[in-house]
Amino acid sequence: MRFFRHLFAMADRQTFVELFLGIMQAEQPQVTAEYKPDEFAIVTAAGRINLSNFYAEYCQIPWHRRKAYLGRTVQIFRAVRDDLPEDFEDARQNLMPKLWMRSSFAHQALMCRLEGTEPPDLNATPVGEHLLSTIVYDLPNSMQTIPARQFEKWEISGYEAWEIALENLSERTRAMAKIGDHLVSAVSGDNYDANRLFLVDRLRELGMDGHLVAMIPNRDTLYVTQAKDAVGLKMMTELADRTLQDEPRPMSPFPLQYLNDEWSDWQPPRNHILYSRLQEMRSRFLYGEYAEQKALLEKLQAKGLYPDQFMATFSVIQKKDSDEILSYAVWGAGVDTLLPEADRVVLMRTPEEILGFVPWSQVVETMGTELDLVPDLYPKRYRVRRFPSLGEIAEMEPKPEP
């Protein structure tokens, strides 16, 4: 046991950063890099390197392989902005589709606002509410998301480029694994397995017919089953939950469904056996996303943006009479609030006078005209300036328990 603890020992964050910066300086002496410890990020003229995921992966690698891992990681951030081929035919074989968490771009946009810079010019397409897809230029040691203006230079539409990227992905897909009769998983291990979600024809060849449901808990993992397959849905949910909790670079706990030739969000009905499990996974994920967003918004407040608004906290609670996990946010009287979209809203006249819990759907039904969706924020927040009247409170019927 001592040997294994030593082999995979947690690394000191500061040592990790010093090694990362040392290799970066040796590989790219022309690059000026600034480490921001409060954000656990490195900033260069080319952009920001968020270190959390790389550090998590680094700690899971045996110590004798860590230096090589850092060398490969630093290579990813070589300045490749000017290396895109002038001629599209020279680029086409290296185009690949890439899925991202929407929060990655949303938090990056807030960081750009903090630093007074423009966010990247990305040609991103929504995949459900929580994911985005882009086209990347993929090389052995680097990957660059292709900006929208580059397609104009190549005189090709984004749609045409996407179809070519999918062809390239299909050609690189040697196999998908079928787990019994219930589940299909991508097993290429090339950091593009999540994106094989788009290879629906290949999934159909493996017997995935009809209404498909998929989960992508990290970039190296894809699970696909059928909506009618209760066993497959249970297997998929359990495997995805384990990956989200145990593996680095977690992505999405939100299932997707393939209907009308596109992927969109899927939510089982409340009486479904997996409803509570998926609800817990969703709440756990959004808890972290809202916490990071709130921290960034409060930094923007310190610079004079959102000056009069209170950033309500997205909190999580377990119901007393069951194992169900619910999220909630507090709407206080007399406070201009940016309210997260939670399962329940707690109406509070004063800290001593808490009126109770109201389901989000009931808040929308009664107070919908008072909920102003804040543009360009993910996860969603709604600005509420006026506390509900006595009549509106009575209509919503707050409960003492969630």
Per 3-state DSSP, what percentage of the chain is helix, strand, and coil (rounded to 5)?
40, 25, 35
Determine how β-strand 337-340 pairs with β-strand 310-311.
Answer: parallel
Q: What is the DSSP letter of 253?
A: -
Residue with token string 């009479």 = 321
Domain ranges within the chain, ordered by starting residue: 1-79, 80-172, 176-266, 289-396
DSSP string, 334-380: T--EEEE--SEEEEEEETTEEEEEEEHHHHHHHHGGG-EEPTT-SS-
Alpha-carbon gap, residue 135 to 263, rounded angstroms: 17
Alpha-carbon gap, residue 300 to 190, rounded angstroms: 38
Burial 365-377, CB ≥16 within 10 A → b, else e? ebbeeebeeeeeb
Q: What is the DSSP letter of 223?
A: E
Q: What is the mean pLDDT of each run of 10 residues along the chain (402 residues)?
A: 38 80 82 84 77 77 74 66 81 96 90 83 91 92 84 94 97 90 90 95 93 95 96 97 85 95 94 93 94 93 90 92 88 97 97 97 97 95 97 97 91
pLDDT for the residue numbered 2: 38
Global model pTM greater than 0.85: no
Q: How far is CA 193 from CA 3, 40, 69, in A?
A: 32, 28, 20
Amino acid letter, residue 74: V
pLDDT for the residue numbered 9: 44
pLDDT for the residue numbered 368: 95
pLDDT for the residue numbered 385: 96
Angle at which helix 275-302 crosses helix 102-115, to 10 degrees, equals: 10
pLDDT for the residue numbered 57: 75
